[in-house]
Chain A
Amino acid sequence: MKTTPLHQWHLDAGANMADFGGYDMPLWYDTGVKNEHLAVLTSAGIFDTSHMACVTVEGPDAFSLLNFCFTRDLTPLAVGRCVYGAFLNEKGHCLDDAIVYKFSGTSFMVCVNAGMGGAISDHLNKHKKDRDVTITDLTDRIAKMDIQGIDSVRILSKLIQSPDTVFGKMPYFSFKGHFDPNHPEAGASKLKNGTPVLLSRSGYTGEFGFEIFIAPNAIVDLWKQVLAAGESFGITACGLGARDSLRAGAGLPLSHQDIGHFKFMNHPWDFALPYNSDKSGFTKDFLGAAALVPEKNDVYVFPFVGDSLRKVAAGENTGVFDENEQQIGHVLTCATDMGITWHEGKIVSINTPDLPDNIKIKGIACGFVMVSKHLEPGTKLMLKEGKRAISVTIVTDIRPDRTARKKITHFI
């Protein structure tokens, strides 16, 4: 199994390890999933995401290739900004979701999931035809960590050169700097010890924070620096367990589980498709678009929340039943968001303003179901796995009052 540069650190910290995408990764540390999840909502958490892969796409026709292969329209994407979307095949199935970074009109980077660097490189090469573009799979040549949570900018400000300049104007889904010391942008964000980093105001938790790309030989030192700088804030190292529950509560899909070999349509992730303003069509043609026209007997994906923190095991064997006790699908993801609870018929989170003092946040099960018919928000369903059954409600959103989109000035 593959390992990241932080592998020994995880072992030394007593992490519960498991295979994820071919990498031996931490599921949780001694702190436990619950506390790791809550740390991101109330202070900050760091995640080793070095198992994720990066691919650079460069050359005069880089834009043309990416705009054809990626679901989002890159036409309005400015230099220094990045955007979330997906790569589809001709059938409209999702190969992987990704973030595309724009360094210049001819230089882009694509960040994809663990083990997908080769597959996405091959996919881009297959479709490049006579375009003048160079595709480079940087798998294992870049390390990455995410610092997520309301204190993340305060912690990073202790470690970054000229933090006022770096963080002064940094909207959601923008980035600064480069991980390669020879890149012209490398000077734009450096650690105090001179190590260049690519700092991206993004992440997959739904909370305010950053993804940091850095040379593999520098990440262990940075990880330790971040932990030391964040100690007074209560920063916590987080494993994939907390990442899964946070992203589920944020309504974000896990690639190859919530999106994959089923048509990328009729799902809650409309924001990953290039809809025009009135949603009557797309702003561009792209690979897989023709297959996305809705048909009868389509599958639909919806987010749900449970009545309590009890959950079921996700998978093909966990049935989704409607009020007539008819099975209409199965469960893609079922996690417990430990930061939310029901209060007077509504879901509130730890970060909901003016919470009553006596409220006890116990957590609620949440996730995604794949079903054979359209369901309105508020629809009640039963999820059944063996003898276990839980009652859930279809919703449009899960964890309220997420912080990811708030202005950076709010956190400095």
Chain B
Amino acid sequence: MKDINELNLPEDVKYTKDHEWAKADGDTVTIGINDYAQDQLGEIVFVEMPAVGDSFSAEDEFGSVESVKAVSEMYMPISGEIVAINEDLEDAPENVNEDCYQSGWIIKVKPSDLSEMDALMDKAAYLEMLKG
């Protein structure tokens, strides 16, 4: 298990209390689970994703990740409509372990209110939360 100091927590994404990350790019926001979450879960064997077109409110459950050892729900960092899902994860769920911020992204959302991003944690605040 990674020590807190070993976690890969990029500066250019936002974090939730449930260990998702979110990154705005133009009018879409890309969402995944962060390095802490993938490390805790171990080898991910299945990612259950929503359908394109589904809409959710912030903090709604939008899917789950199943690892060899555990099953864990994922929650929306912001409100919005799903505009893309990472279909590669159907054949290669291990991408979430290998690179949770790039090839292991999970959904792209068209936010209903982009300012909700401001309520999410930056790296410093998230680290503070992990340290408890």
Q: Which residues of A contact B (CB under 8 A)?
A: 14-17, 27-28, 32-34, 37, 241, 244-245, 308-313, 336, 338, 363, 385-388
Indicate if the CB atoms of A15 and B1 lie closer than 8 Å. Answer: yes
B89 CB, min distance to chain A CBs, angstroms: 14
B21 CB, min distance to chain A CBs, angstroms: 21
B69 CB, min distance to chain A CBs, angstroms: 5
Supplied contacts A245-B68, A388-B64, 8 more A-B pairs, CB within 8 Å: A16-B1, A32-B68, A33-B67, A34-B43, A309-B45, A309-B66, A312-B71, A336-B45
Would you call B126 an interface residue if the criterion is a C-beta within 8 Å of the partner chain's C-beta atoms?
no
Closest to A33 in B: B68
Given contact pairs A14-B1, A388-B64, A33 touches B71 in the complex (Cβ within 8 A): no
B71 CB, min distance to chain A CBs, angstroms: 5
Given contact pairs A15-B1, A16-B42, A32-B43, A313 touches B70 in the complex (Cβ within 8 A): yes
Given contact pairs A15-B1, A387-B61, A28 touches B69 in the complex (Cβ within 8 A): yes
Closest to A362 in B: B45
Indicate if the CB atoms of B1 and A33 lie closer than 8 Å. Answer: no
Residues of B within 8 A of A16 (CB): 1, 39-40, 42
Beta-carbon contacts under 8 Å, B64-92 to A:
64, 66-71, 73
- Bound-complex Cα distance A4 to B66 (A): 30
Indicate if the CB atoms of A27 and B71 lie closer than 8 Å. Answer: no
Indicate if the CB atoms of B71 and A388 lie closer than 8 Å. Answer: yes
B116 CB, min distance to chain A CBs, angstroms: 23
Indicate if the CB atoms of B61 and A34 lie closer than 8 Å. Answer: no
Residues of A within 8 A of B39 (CB): 16
Indicate if the CB atoms of B68 and A34 lie closer than 8 Å. Answer: yes
Residues of A within 8 A of B46 (CB): 308-310
Given contact pairs A241-B42, A363-B45, A17 touches B68 in the complex (Cβ within 8 A): no
Residues of A within 8 A of B66 (CB): 309-311
Contact with A along B50-71 (1 / 0, CB 8 A): 0000000000010010111111
Residues of B within 8 A of A309 (CB): 45-46, 66
B94 CB, min distance to chain A CBs, angstroms: 9
Residues of B within 8 A of A386 (CB): 73
Beta-carbon contacts under 8 Å, B1-26 to A:
1
Residues of A within 8 A of B69 (CB): 27-28, 33, 241, 244
B50 CB, min distance to chain A CBs, angstroms: 11
Residues of B within 8 A of A385 (CB): 71
Residues of A within 8 A of B67 (CB): 33
Closest to B63 in A: A387
- Bound-complex Cα distance A383 to B51 (A): 23
- Bound-complex Cα distance A15 to B3 (A): 11
Indicate if the CB atoms of A33 and B43 lie closer than 8 Å. Answer: yes
For this complex, 19 residue pairs linking A to B, each with C-beta atoms less than 8 Å apart, are A16-B40, A27-B42, A27-B69, A28-B69, A34-B45, A34-B68, A241-B42, A244-B69, A245-B68, A309-B46, A311-B66, A311-B71, A312-B71, A313-B70, A313-B71, A336-B45, A385-B71, A386-B73, A388-B71
